[in-house]
Amino acid sequence: MFDRPMEAVLNPGSLRAIVLRNLLSQCPRSWLRLLSYKTLLLGNVVERPSYGYCMYQAAILARQLGHKTISAIEFGVAGGNGLVAAERHAREISRELGVQFEIYGFDSGEGLPAPTDYRDLPFIWQQGFYAMDQKALMKRLEISQLVIGNVLEKCADFFTRYHPAPIGCIFWDLDFYSSTVEAFEVLSGDYGYFLPRVWMYFDDIVGSPYSDFTGERLAITEFNARSRRGKISQDYSISCHPMNRFWKHQIFVYHDFSHPGYCTLVGPADRQLHLCR
């Protein structure tokens, strides 16, 4: 009952939105349940809203296409805070949209490997950064599955080993150009393991000293140049979305143009514009 007025109040451009978000952040979780997850997401008062946005959009598409369960993947788990946040989003989105989630986290478990060359930005990242305390993390996780080992090798047998529900969103946080290129191999999996459009968040593409010629941005450019099946594109719809935050520049969508369901109509079937009287 509160959703529409609250969405208007939570427009991020207003001063009252800033004040209200601060108040909401101090509210007991039981109070926040008076509001829908969508409203809280619009107000940017959820943890890791970039994850929540991707998962919410994927769940909407999944429901439109008749999928009851989808998968979310995080490449680069590190300490595990991203997976913990993803599980929270999954619970709320499942409650609101009726779509369930499987969550997978890829990581070596040993921190970053040695940089290969300048494209891995060795002046920022070094071998051993972001090692995982796997035992501590496993105690916190409820539904997520850790995929531990070399990312290229784990992508090679991921589908035959785990048989995941269709992938609807992927969070990329491998830091390196070389590791991201290897992880892109997951996109070569059978069509049945993907939604026709997959929402993506890239952690290391904004701010100094990132460029188009190193890191994740270079990996994206090269993937699009060689891929005939699909392309990774900026999510332009979020630029006019009420959730207008800096992380909007980190949201992309993988368009799998060859996917059998890519051209399936979603949304209203009747979109005629009648002449006004």
pLDDT score at 22: 63
Closest CA to 46 of 100, 90, 76: 90
Q: Where are the beta strands (DSSP E) in 86-155?
A: 100-107, 145-148
pLDDT digit string (tens) for the chain, length 277 residues:
344 444 444 444 445 455 655 666 566 555 556 678 887 887 777 889 999 999 999 999 999 999 999 999 999 999 999 999 999 999 999 999 999 999 999 999 999 999 999 999 999 999 999 999 999 999 999 999 999 999 999 999 999 999 999 999 999 999 999 999 999 999 999 999 999 999 999 999 998 889 999 999 999 999 999 999 999 999 998 866 655 577 889 999 999 999 999 999 997 777 777 888 7
The pLDDT assigned to 272 comes to 77
Structure tokens given for 258: 């060859």
With contact defined as beta carbons under 8 Å apart, do 216 and 177 qualify? yes
Dmax of the chain from CA atoms? Answer: 69
CB atoms under 10 Å from CB of 70, counted, come to 26
Helix (H, G, I), strand (E, B) or coil at 74: strand
Q: pLDDT at position 208, please? A: 80
Chain position carrying tokens 């207003």: 14
Omega within 30 of 0 (cis) for the link into 209: yes
Show the CA angle centred on residue 163, arms to residues 159 and 169, nearest 5°: 75
Domains of the chain listed by start with CATH number: 1-45 (no CATH), 47-255 (3.40.50.150)
| Helix-strand-coil split of the chain, %, nearest 5 | 45, 15, 40
Q: What is the pTM of this model?
A: 0.87
What pLDDT was estimated at residue 12?
Answer: 46
Look at residue 2 in the predicted model and tell me its pLDDT.
41
First to last CA, the chain: 34
How are strands ordered across the β-sheet holding 167-172?
145-148, 100-107, 69-75, 167-172, 194-202, 251-255, 231-234
How far apart (Å, rounded) are the C-alpha atoms in residues 243 and 227? 31
* pLDDT for res 31: 58
Residues counted in the chain: 277
Residue 276 has what DSSP assignment? P
